[in-house]
Amino acid sequence: MDVSLYQAAAAMNATAQWQDLISQNLAASSIPGARKQEISFSDVQAGLNSNSEPSNYSIPSVSTSTNFKTGELCSTGNSMDFALEGPGFFTVQLPDGQRAYSRDGEFKLNAKGQLVNKEGFAVLGSSGPLQFNPSSSDPITISATGDVHQGAETKGKIQITEFQHPEKLTQLGAGDFRSDDQDAQPGAADSTLVRQGFIEAANTSPTTEMASLITAMRMFESNQKVLQMQSDRMSRVITDLGGTSS
């Protein structure tokens, strides 16, 4: 068995996964609050058992993770745009009643006067969905600590959630997450502030991703050449041995 063929093929598979991840990051770079997906490379030990000594070798492997570093806060001047300064997440209610967590603060009022995100999911307050009077001209304001008002009337407190282990969250989209893991239990937001009239940009840079894409493509091509060289070498050996035996 030619181990180099397996190593080159595994390396090609790893760099192909890297290219897919870069494509996802590029697509998400314009989504407010989106989180960058990162990849790390490592080796896993493999081996062949035979009647003699076992043969050990390494096969390239990859693992992915989410980068939760805060993106840049950009002023929009829109009173229905909100950004979080700190590690917290907005809490929204999914159609099935489950909760999801997001950094995307582009909100609006629906026909019922509920504060919703771009997907139409209700943005939750401490006592449930935040409800406003859609026919009122009074402005909606949110304090840095999350207290919500429509004019002089208090409407509740927006629910901001923090996690001790955000890396355990299950990703639903570019910036939406769910806490399925037992280690990713929601907690109170002790160190997160709300900024009205701001949007948090994605924490990934298109320029950086394009540079990484070029590197990934070159690595893929290099391993493809190695795979082709090893395949050609084996073909010549088989041809030579076949010619000798005849």
Range 202-227 average pLDDT:
88
CA 32, CA 27: separation in Å to the nearest integer?
A: 12
Predicted pLDDT at 84: 97
CA 178, CA 100: separation in Å to the nearest integer?
A: 5
Q: Are 209 and 20 in contact (CB under 8 A)?
A: no
Predicted pLDDT at 216: 87
Q: Which two tokens stand for residue 198?
A: 């701001």
Range 85-114 average pLDDT:
95
- Mean model confidence pLDDT for the chain: 87
Predicted pLDDT at 2: 60
Predicted pLDDT at 147: 96
Percent of the chain scored above 90 by pLDDT? 60
Q: Residue 48 pLDDT > 50, yes or no? A: no
Give one word for 113, left, alpha or beta, with left for phi > 0 and alpha for psi -120 to 50.
left
The domains of the chain are located at 3-67+204-245, 73-200
pLDDT bin (cut points 50, 70, 90) of residue 238 is confident
pLDDT tens-digit profile of 57-71?
A: 567 677 889 999 999
DSSP string spanning 32-74? TT--EEEEEEEEEEEEE--SSS-EEEEEEEEEEEEE-----EE
Predicted pLDDT at 60: 67
Predicted pLDDT at 50: 46
pLDDT tens-digit profile of 172-210?
A: 877 899 999 888 889 888 899 999 999 999 999 899 999
Q: Residue 49 pLDDT > 50, yes or no? A: no
Query: Cα dist. 221→178, 199, 234 in Å?
Result: 37, 39, 20
pLDDT bin (cut points 50, 70, 90) of residue 166 is very high
pLDDT tens-digit profile of 112-124?
A: 999 999 999 999 9
Query: Cα dist. 151→104, 109, 115 in Å?
Result: 24, 15, 15
